[in-house]
Amino acid sequence: MTTAPAPRIAVVGAGPGGLTCARILQRHGIAVTVYDRDGGPADRNQGGTLDLHDEDGQIALREAGLLDDFFRLSRPEGQEMRQLDPAGTLHFHHVPAEDERVKPEIDRGVLRELLLNSLEPGTVRWGHALRSVEGPAGGPRRLLFADGTTVEADLVIGADGAWSKVRRAVSDAAPRYTGVTFLEAWFDDVDTAHPEIAEFVGQGSAAAADGDRGLFAQRNGGDHIRVYVIQRLPEDWIAAAGLTAGDTEGVRALLLGHFRDWAPAWRRLLTDNDGPYVDRPIHALPVPHTWEHAPSVTLLGDAAHLMPPLGVGVNLAMLDACELALAVARHDSLDDAVRDYEKTMLPRSTRMQELLDNGAAELISAELPDFAQEGPAAG
């Protein structure tokens, strides 16, 4: 009696979704390789903080056997939330209970390190920037990388984010600009170097908006704060002013004009940042985003359902990863596993896409939207 060879599974993208999928597959004895474009785990800043919810992100970590480690590394005090108006008047203040674990914060880099360290040595192949996925829908597929190397796989899992190259193998959809843009500002050593800002933001987040623009400030680990300047503007607003994002003083002057009527405490978030701003226009996939089933390719996270950053991104990516890995473990064929996964994931993501369609406008609503779910996505 011959035994069928083990399927060759390739995950593209070493973010939280891709790494969670790989971890759960390995816990079930299933071989997997993760390919990532970065040269190594420390190649670039992983972005700010995020909260993992008990109804999705934490479920995935439980299946990964990492939930206790997450609670040890997370910052439950980061669940504090202050919602103010542009004049600086406080309208809502949530202070988490000492044992509150509904959505504790963790820095993205810390979460990624936790997941990376949980994988078998050599699982992640760094320096593999994907160029395209070729081959028939029934498989096997061939991954072509920018350095000219190729790899064959029976299942390719696209966990490669907003501008996914894997997506092109099953869908022609591309992200579209939402009309809302972020500009990110960083503050280091805040308790010593920026004590007024540290006190204003607290241990969690502080937000305000006036209908056309907003500010969202969020405490990160390591005595850092990130501020997201949120505006309804053309995507090329900086270039249209004859500037680049690296022209800190020029961009700052523009911002001070846009926020001229805001309280000094808020304007300090525009003037005292350490280093240049980071330009992050917000894109989303068409609603709904679905594709014709193929047994050899599927998507998770932003590659499948990129939405405005309203508190669901990483959590949904990790839940997708969990359900996909479990489906592979439970089914004898990859075709059945992918069908089972997509049967649940696609309707769920469609419902959420429809709920958040045009949701980027909520980020600047004068009604003070509930940012307490998860801070604006960065990176």
**pLDDT tens, 309-341?**
877 889 999 999 999 999 999 999 999 999 999
CB 227 within 8 A of CB 205: no
**pLDDT tens, 85-115?**
999 999 999 999 888 888 999 999 999 999 9
Q: Phi, psi (5° rounding) for residue 350? A: -65, -45
CB 321 within 8 A of CB 21: yes
**pLDDT tens, 203-219?**
999 999 998 999 999 99
What is the model's pTM?
Answer: 0.93
State the Cα angle at 113 between 141 and 223, rounded to 5°.
140
Beta pairing class for 205-209 and 81-84: parallel
266 three-state secondary structure: helix
Domains of the chain with CATH codes: 9-79+103-174+285-358 (3.50.50.60)
Binding annotation? 44, 51, 108, 302
- CA 370 to CA 374: how far, in whole Å? 9
Query: Is a pLDDT exceeding 70 seen at residue 369?
Result: no
pLDDT of 332 reads 94
Pick the closest to residue 379 from 101, 112, 78 (CA basis): 112
Query: Is a pLDDT exceeding 50 seen at residue 226?
Result: yes
**pLDDT tens, 5-39?**
789 999 999 999 999 999 999 999 999 999 999 99
Binding annotation for FAD? 51, 108, 302
Q: pLDDT-derived band of residue 374, with 50, 70 and 90 as boundaries? A: very low
Binding annotation for NADPH? 44
CA–CA distance from 231 to each of 70, 188, 201 (Å)? 33, 24, 20
59: which 2 tokens?
A: 């479920």
Query: For the residues 259-273, what does the mean pLDDT come to?
Result: 96
- CA 100 to CA 51: how far, in whole Å? 12
Query: For the residues 174-201, what does the mean pLDDT come to?
Result: 95
pLDDT of 365 reads 79
Calculate what percentage of the chain has a pLDDT beyond 90: 83
In one letter, which amino acid is 353? Answer: Q
**pLDDT tens, 124-134?**
999 999 999 99
